[in-house]
Amino acid sequence: MQSQLLLQLIINGLIIGTLYGVVGMCFVLIYKASQVVNFAQGEFLLIGAWTCWWLLTAWDIPFFWGFLIAVCFMMVFGIAVQMIILRPLIGEPIISVIMVTIGMSIFFQALMKWMFGTFAQPFPPIFPVEKVDVLGLQVQTAYLMSTGVSLAIMAGFAWFFKYSKMGLAMRATAFSQQVAQSLGISVRQVFALSWGISAAVSAVAGVVVGIVNGVSSALSYFGIKVFPAVILGGLDSIFGAVVGGLIVGLLENLGQYVDSQYLKWGNLYEVIPFYALIIILMIKPYGLFGTRDIERV
């Protein structure tokens, strides 16, 4: 029975880990392209989920369309945030920019509470069955969808950065803004687009989590959970964010197992990712996949 529990927790860890990975990628995308540490990443999930929820409940729009509209809205929203709030800050000290994103986080959270209340709201039922049987384990349909969507997003990111023109342009901008401009890339466009994509993809994650847990301000904790994930992976590595996300998801659940079976501390679930973070950073200061520049003399 215990091994059954362990297996269940590992699967939960992987499922939640892929979601952390997706949000982590969004975080890293902004950081890489525009060197902004976005403390309001979790709020992108929150706003996206509330928007979708509102479209579904207040307008009775079918899920697919509500979802699509919410994601497109968040794309525009992310671009607007970059253009209106962050663009004027280009060239300001990093600490000022960080303070602004922290301010954004507080503001958007309060705004959402004001608009939608403080209680968690369930999504209307979306799937015909709530749980399905996978290899003898009960898995929520929404989690299956979540994993499917997460993997699709990761594949999409991989394609985008490897083959699309705009993806290459973003990597060039991350390498050097001056070099990017010398190639004819508009770094303003790249900044705006990176925020747009980041917000839109975060909204997907927000909706998925909202379907499982209901929509509430708890969603924005994802923004905090993502920190150990991306720092573990190395702040500037998209792939590292995915691995970091999986590690954090697994650690949380394994921590819970160890805690409930042996330690009985009751809070290992929450803190173990941060312990792991400290240990890994002592061994690898740039994170698991963070890069120092390639140098050739």
Partner 1 sequence: MAEAALKLDPVAETGPAPLLAVDNIEVVYNDVILVLRGLSLKVPQGQIVALLGSNGAGKSTTLKAISGLLKTEDGEITRGEVNFLGEKINGIEPDKIVRRGIFQVMEGRRIIADMTVLENLRLGAFTRRDNEVKSDIERVYEFFPRLRERTGLAGYLSGGEQQMLAIGRAMMARPKLILMDEPSMGLSPLMVKEVFAIIKKLNVELGVTILLVEQNARVALSVADYGYIMEQGKIVLDGSAQMLATNEDVKEFYLGQGGGEERKSFKNLKSFKRRKRWL
Q: What is the DSSP letter of 259?
A: I
Binding segment toward partner 1, per CB under 8 A, in 70-78, 110-118, 166-174, 243-251? 166-174
Number of shown-chain residues binding partner 1 (CB under 8 A): 22
Taking CB under 8 A as the rule, which mask of x and - marks residues 47-66 in contact with partner 1? Answer: --------------------
Tell me which residue of 239, 222, 227 sits closest to 290, measured CA to CA: 239
Q: Of residues 186, 221, 266, 284, which one binds partner 1 by CB under 8 A?
A: 186
| Contact by Cβ (8 Å): 77, 201 | no
Q: Of residues 183, 224, 263, 271, which one binds partner 1 by CB under 8 A?
A: 183
Q: How far is the CB of 168 from partner 1 (least distance, A)?
A: 5
User: Could you say which residues in the range 86-145 bind partner 1, by CB under 8 A?
Assistant: none
Q: How far is the CB of 153 from partner 1 (least distance, A)?
A: 22
**Three-state DSSP state, 121:** strand
51 or 177: CB nearest partner 1:
177
Q: How far is the CB of 59 from partner 1 (least distance, A)?
A: 39
190 or 229: CB nearest partner 1:
190
Q: Of residues 159, 175, 221, 265, which one binds partner 1 by CB under 8 A?
A: 175
Tell me which residue of 40, 2, 80, 38 sits closest to 206, measured CA to CA: 40
List all residues 6 or more positions away from 13 whose beta carbon is below 8 Å from its beta carbon.
246, 249, 250, 251, 252, 253, 254
Q: How far is the CB of 164 from partner 1 (least distance, A)?
A: 10
Q: Of residues 90, 168, 254, 258, which one binds partner 1 by CB under 8 A?
A: 168
Q: How far is the CB of 212 from partner 1 (least distance, A)?
A: 37
Q: Of residues 2, 58, 96, 165, which one binds partner 1 by CB under 8 A?
A: 165
Q: How far is the CB of 292 from partner 1 (least distance, A)?
A: 11
| Contact by Cβ (8 Å): 107, 85 | no
Q: What string of DSSP letters covers 167-225? A: HHHHHHHHH-HHHHHHTT--HHHHHHHHHHHHHHHHHHHHHHHHHHH-BSGGGGHHHHH
Task: Indicate the helix (H) or strand (E) that contains 139.
Answer: strand 137-140
Distance, CA of 289 to CA of 237 (rounded, Å): 6
20 or 161: CB nearest partner 1:
161
Q: Of residues 109, 177, 198, 216, which one binds partner 1 by CB under 8 A?
A: 177
User: Is residue 187 left, alpha or beta, with left meaning phi > 0 and alpha meaning psi from -120 to 50?
Assistant: alpha
User: Applying CB under 8 A, which residues contact partner 1?
Assistant: 165, 168-169, 171-172, 175-179, 181-187, 291, 293-296
